[in-house]
Amino acid sequence: MKINDRYISIENSSKFQKLVKRRNTFSWFLSSIILIIYFAFILTIAFYPKLLGIPVAQGMVTTIGIPIGLFIIVFSIILTGFYVNRANGEFDRLTKEVIEESLK
């Protein structure tokens, strides 16, 4: 079997199509979540800056914008870990199945 034929057979494989669809759907879902959060934060800064300038507690210098910004960073890291966990599990398993099927 030629290498190009193998690529074509992989692309036409139902397992490969399933892998691509699942991976793309999952990554777009996670990307959408983080984009919504980022845009909400930026729009809040643009249109309601006083909201993020409210002190965390009376007499404190730290405003609620700081913990919200930190939350966004930590949440992004958690979502990245969630994606990596799924990629190393389900997506790698499906990739292995596609490769084994193409070698037959």
In angstroms, the CA 55 to CA 102 distance is 60
> Closest Cα partner for 15 from 26, 23, 3?
23
pTM: 0.78
Question: What is the residue-level pLDDT of the chain in tens, covering all 104 positions?
Answer: 566 777 888 888 888 899 999 999 999 999 999 999 999 999 999 999 899 999 988 988 889 999 999 999 999 999 999 999 999 998 899 888 888 887 77
Longest dimension (CA), the chain: 74
Query: Based on C-alpha coordinates, what's the Rg of the chain?
Result: 22
